[in-house]
Structure 1
Amino acid sequence: MIKMQKADTDPIGFGLRYRATRHDPKGEWAAWQKLYPEIQFSVKVDIKIRGTGLIR
């Protein structure tokens, strides 16, 4: 996530969701562009192992 943020990319679409939920697209988009480089991410991963490594 941090590498994408430093590269100024948003492949997950956080910016699109931000723009979709705001009413002033020009002012809010400028605010988003200032906020995005400084956002701290907290990622939670839940993994379930379904097998021993067999390929189907």
Structure 2
Amino acid sequence: MDKNQKTVELPNTNELTEELCRREGVEEIVIEAHTKFRIEVVGKAPREFEGPARLLINAD
């Protein structure tokens, strides 16, 4: 790395998630541990998951 370049420290995933949750237009759905859930989108194959999970809907 060039000595004149600055390194940028990136936030971890949890910090990014917390910041997004505070934003207007973002809805959070919390899925508890061991809870199975399914996401279906028209025109796509359904996907199945198991919590814990945090789903963020960014409608902005």
**TM more than 0.5:** no
TM-score calculated relative to the size of structure 2:
0.24
Greater fraction of residues in strand: 2
TM-score calculated relative to the size of structure 1:
0.24
